[in-house]
Chains A and B, each alone.
Chain A
Amino acid sequence: MNNIFSGLHLGLRALETQRKSLDVTGHNIANANNENYNKQRAVHKASYPYTAPGLSNHGGAGQFGTGVEIETVERVKDQFINSQIFNETQSAGYWTEMQRGLEKIEYIFNEPSDSGIDTAMNQFWNSLQDLSNNPSDDAARNMVRENSYNLIDSFQSVENQLTDYKDSIDQNLNNAAVNVNEITTKIADLNKQIVSVKGSDQSPNDLLDERDALYKELNSMLNVQSREDEQGNLIISADGKQIVNGSDAYELEMIEDPDNEDRMILGHKKTGSPVNVKNGKIKAWMDVRDEELTVNIEKLNDLAENMVTEFNNQHKAGYDAEGNQGGDFFKSIASMDGDQTVISQLVLDENIADPDGGLDKIAAGNTVSDGSVVGIEKVDTSDITAKFEIDIRKVDPNDDDSDYEVTVTNLETDAEFGPETVKKADNYKIGFDTATGNFTDVAGDIDFNITAKSEGTAVVNLDEAIGNGENANALSDIFEKDGNNIKSEFREIITSVGANSSRAQRMVNNQEVVLKQLNTLDRSISGVSLDEEMANLIKYQQSYAAAAKYINKTEELLDSLMTIV
């Protein structure tokens, strides 16, 4: 029966409810600056009313309320926004690290500057031009050699730094795996606590906040999927492999890629299988390592290889200060170890590098005006004074392996010989006798051998002279000739690194905007507003005071009753 004492209980419940609500408000205020904190709210509910009307009850007005109680302390959170944040965190992690990696590569290339590969190529080119002006000058020869050392150094320095960076990423990935394991272990621990709190029918709000924060951090590292089971466990998997299941965490580690033993990838320790990462910082590091760095190291090496091959070919077409045919200038690609990069083995040919007489071996003079068209090998040219023009045409212009047709013109007499077919089977090589104009086989009675290299025309001058600097000119053309040349190839590398890096920067900015908007939404819903809490503070305080007043009045009622006695 609803009696005078039940009023005291009602007042007491009201006092307790307001005080607890004040506690929640206090908790909110205390966590106002906690980024991971989600606002909590005490949900008030009228407590169970006194009796339903029935036969056994005395008549009168219907049910009597019994006051208020706290139904639950609610965590204000929008799960949909939350899961979007997790997703976008993966991409944000990816692009942030990608951008850093590419920026680092840009720093390594150090272009545009006065100390990069580009400048070294410019200086080398200048020294070759100076040599063509003064082919007999030892100082000019020395500058060519010094500048070639400088060029080699700048190639090697860039390659070393790229390779070092690649190695440091492997180290980074090991640390990342350890970091991921720490996170998953903590999440597993939290799962255990959350399940036990939920089991006792309470809401583990603060633990959930902590777990969400950890899960977000995990998302920034790699792409993971998760679901929450009925007991409240967060079950997480990466590429279909469980990494957190209830209170158990399964570790990840770096393992050898089964498809490529030189490459370390993420693996699942328990099952031993590789984990295919598609997003997050770990993916970014792997992409920087396997794509950006690998590709750029490859491109740079291709460039160096082209340079060495073209330069050596042209160098061999010329003759040195002593009138001998030029040898290799750089150590030839053929004599390099195929397991190592070209740049790491880039040195001058030992004949050129020789401090004693090496300078004289630089082939500044030229027998052939364009060594890419034709190669000349002298057999017996002592009695030849004329110059010859050699014209090379493909027999079948559409066939890459086509035989060539060679026409030789004596520029003194204008006598024309040929066209004669040179066969691929003979390595495009044929002999020529100037006296008779006969193309004989390679071993016959001949003055020199002609090797056809590509379509074009070249002038052959068989008389060597120290004052001939035409080969130095031709050598310099490898870097600067019209159309495709070594320098334009290098510029392409720089442009592509720059464009990739610039794209990554834009993506970082985009990701920041997306995340910012989501975070704003999230904070709008779950953040603590001090104004709101202040209002609540007053609200609960007033209610508390009112409830106290109510108890006071009830007591007065009792007092009046007692005075009757």
Chain B
Amino acid sequence: MRVTNSMMVRNMLDHLKKNMGDLNDLNEQLSSGKLFQMPSDAPIKVADSMNYKSQLNRNSQFQRNLNQAENWLNTTESALKSGTEVMQRARELTIYAANDSMTTDDRKMVAKEMKQLRDELIDISNAKLGDSYIFSGQETGEKPFSLNADDTDLKNYVDYQGDKNGVKRRLNENVEMDVSLNGDEVFKDKIDKLHKIYRQLENNIPGEDFKGEDIGDNLGELGNHINDFVEKRSEIGGKLQRAGNIIDRLEANEVHLRDLKSKNEDADLAEVITELKMEETVYRASLASGSRIMQQSLVDFIR
């Protein structure tokens, strides 16, 4: 084949251009740390990366949701703990006051403390997380209980204001947890009970005269209530345990996803640098050979 000067120059330029292009690609990978910049660089990988990114985003949102749920559960748990203490104290007082050697005045003294315990339990039932009452079901804006104006009603001192719908949290793909206990089930009977004991201790309901054994009759139910608190606490404990497991799973999954995402889109620096070095050598070689070829022609040898 006849080789002409313009052919050689053009070929050399083409090769230089190609080498430059390769160098540029590698340089972009090296400086950005990513295998691709645009969807066209690797359409499928880009879609995968977007998918991983949104999965990671979901993962971190679920972790936020979980933290929220844990806060809720922890607040519930500490309320139940305080509630248990209140009930235990009430039980002690009841045992103490059930003794027939107590005078009416003695009982009135005990009644004062019992009233405090009742109010404390109401305060505990008003526990809030942020702006939400946690024992009102989904009616988080409402205090769980309103007080009955007629405080001589021994059965029904408080009315439940919330609803019986659970507050649900999404904790993972397709995993929802009902984090709430409703006050009606947890506190209503107990507050009413404390109120009843308090009124019995005060003993100023017309037509009634409460004796030590009337007061002592409450002990059985008080025991049940304490057990109920303990049961509810263990239920919440179980939920906290489950939430903790889910967090562990989410965190493990996050590591896994980050790894996948990185494998999908991150440039292997060692590999890129090696390739860059190689391309650089090729580029230098083509420059060197080009400069030698272009310098020479027959002109140099004709005198």
User: Interface on A for B, CB 8 Å cutoff?
Assistant: 32-33, 35, 39, 102-103, 106-107, 109, 111-112, 118, 122, 125-126, 129-130, 132-137, 365, 461, 463, 465-470, 473, 480, 482, 487, 491-492, 494-502, 504-505, 516, 519-520, 523-525, 527-532, 534-535, 537-538
- For A500, what are the chain B residues with a Cβ–Cβ distance below 8 Å? 40
Cβ of B244 under 8 Å from chain A: no
Are A136 and B131 also in contact (CB < 8 A) when A32-B6, A126-B57, A528-B4 are? yes
Contact: B5 with A530, CB < 8 Å?
Answer: yes
Question: How far, in whole Å, are A496 and B44 apart by their CA atoms in the complex?
Answer: 9
Please give the number of chain B residues whose Cβ is less than 8 angstroms from any Cβ of chain A in the complex: 51
Is the beta-carbon distance between A467 and B54 smaller than 8 angstroms? Answer: no
Residue among B39, B43, B130, B163 having the largest count of chain A Cβ atoms under 10 Å: B39
A524 x B297 contact (CB < 8 A):
no
**Interface residue B38 (Cβ < 8 Å from any Cβ of A):** yes
Q: Top 9 closest A-B pairs, CB basis?
A: A498-B39, A467-B140, A527-B4, A465-B138, A498-B43, A501-B40, A534-B298, A467-B138, A502-B40
Distance (Å) between the CB of B173 and the closest chain A CB?
8
B131: nearest residue on chain A (CB-CB)?
A136
Task: State which residues 187-239 of B face A: CB under 8 Å.
Answer: none
Q: Which residues of chain A have C-beta atoms less than 8 A from B141's C-beta? A: 136, 466-467
Closest to B11 in A: A520
Q: Are A111 and B50 in contact (CB under 8 A)?
A: yes
Give Cα A470–Cα B169 distance, bound, in whole angstroms: 9
11 contacts between A and B (CB under 8 A): A118-B54, A122-B53, A129-B64, A135-B140, A466-B138, A494-B39, A494-B43, A498-B38, A505-B40, A532-B2, A532-B4
Closest to A538 in B: B302
Find out whether the CB atom of B57 lies under 8 angstroms from the CB atom of A466.
no
| 8 further contact pairs, Cβ within 8 A, besides A494-B50, A524-B3 | A103-B38, A136-B141, A463-B165, A467-B167, A498-B38, A501-B40, A505-B40, A525-B2
B41, B140, B173: residue with the most chain A Cβ atoms closer than 10 Å: B140
On chain A, the residues within 8 Å of B4 by CB distance are 39, 523-524, 527-529, 532
Partner of A465 from the list B42, B46, B165, B169 (CB cut-off 8 Å) is B165
Q: A491 to chain B: which residues have CB within 8 Å?
A: 47, 50-51
Q: Report B124-159 CB contacts with A as 1/0, cut-off 8 Å.
A: 000000111000111111000000000000000000
- Contact (Cβ within 8 A) B40 A520: no
Docked pose: A402 CA to B138 CA in angstroms: 38
Let me know if B2 and A466 touch, CB within 8 A. Answer: no
Beta-carbon nearest neighbor of B296 in chain A: A531
Q: Does B14 contact A (CB under 8 A)?
A: yes
In the bound complex, do residue A535 and residue B298 qualify as a contact, i.e. CB atoms below 8 Å apart? Answer: yes
Encoded as 1 (CB less than 8 Å from any A CB) or 0, chain B from 1 to 44 comes to: 11111110011001000000000000000000000001111111
Q: How far is the CB of A287 from chain B (nearest CB, A)?
A: 16
Residues from chain A with a CB closer than 8 A to the CB of B168 are 469-470, 473
Contact of B7 among A112, A498, A505, A523 (CB under 8 A): A523
A112 near B49 with CB under 8 A, answer yes
**Which residues of chain B (49-67) have a CB below 8 Å from chain A?**
49-51, 53-54, 57-58, 61, 64-65
Distance between A75 CB and nearest chain B CB, rounded to angstroms: 15
Q: Find out whether the CB atom of A136 lies under 8 angstroms from the CB atom of B132.
A: yes
Q: How far is the CB of A136 from chain B (nearest CB, A)?
A: 5
A145 to chain B, nearest CB (A): 18
A465-B138, A467-B140, A494-B46 given as contacts; is B2 within 8 A of A524 (CB)? yes
The verdict on A529 contacting B39 (CB below 8 Å), with A122-B54, A534-B299 known, is no
A518 → chain B, closest Cβ, in Å? 12
Please name all residues of chain A whose beta carbon is closer than 8 Å to the beta carbon of B136 when the two chains form the complex.
467
- Asked whether, in the complex, the Cβ of B140 is within 8 Å of the Cβ of A465, the reply is yes
A106→B38 CA distance, assembly (Å): 7
CA distance A528 to B8 in the complex (A): 11
Complex Cα gap A482–B302 (Å)? 79
Whether B50 and A527, one on each chain, are in contact in the complex, defined by CB atoms closer than 8 angstroms, is no
A123 to chain B: closest residue by CB: B57
A103 to B297, CA, bound (A): 43
Residue B81, interface by CB 8 Å:
no
- Contacts of A535 on B, CB cut-off 8 Å? 298
Contact residues of B between 282 and 303, Cβ < 8 Å to A: 297-299, 302
State in angstroms the CA–CA spacing of A495 and B42 once bound together.
Answer: 9
State whether B297 touches A495 (Cβ < 8 A): no
Contact between B39 and A497, CB atoms less than 8 A apart = yes
The interface residues of chain A lying within 8 Å CB-to-CB of B262 are: none
Shortest distance between the CB of A33 and any CB in chain B (Å): 7
Whether A523 touches B10, Cβ cut-off 8 Å, given contacts A106-B40, A112-B53, A494-B47, is: yes
Complex Cα distance, B6 from A529, in Å, reads: 8
Contact A111 B39 (CB under 8 A): yes
Contacting residues, chain B, for A538 (C-beta < 8 A)? 302
Determine whether the beta carbon of A467 is less than 8 Å from that of B139: yes
Cα distance A549–B39 when bound, in Å? 75
- In the bound complex, residues from chain A placing their C-beta under 8 Å from that of B5 are 32, 527-530
CB closest chain-B residue, reference A500: B40
Contacts of B299 in A (CB 8 A): 530, 534
When chains A and B are docked, how far (Å) is the Cα of A102 from the Cα of B245? 47
Nearest chain B CB to A63's CB is how many angstroms away? 36
Complex Cα–Cα for A299 and B7 (A): 47
Shortest Cβ distance from residue B10 to the other chain A in the assembled complex, whole angstroms:
7
Whether B170 pairs with A129 at a CB distance below 8 angstroms is yes
Least CB distance from B229 to A in Å reads: 23
Chain A residues within 8 Å of B75, by CB: none
Task: Tell me, in angstroms, the Cα distance from A126 to B57 when the chains sit together.
Answer: 8
Interface assignment of B68: CB less than 8 Å from any CB of chain A: yes
Taking CB atoms, residues of chain B closer than 8 Å to A497 are 39-40
- CB nearest to B7 among chain A residues: A523
CA distance A524 to B44 in the complex (A): 42
From B7, B44, B132, A467 is in contact (CB under 8 Å) with B132
Q: Which one of A111, A118, A129, A473 has the greatest number of beta carbons of chain B within 10 Å? A: A129
Taken together as a complex, chains A and B put the C-alpha atoms of A468 and B163 apart, in Å, by: 11
CB distance from A430 to the nearest CB of B (A): 26
Residue of B nearest to A503 (CB): B40
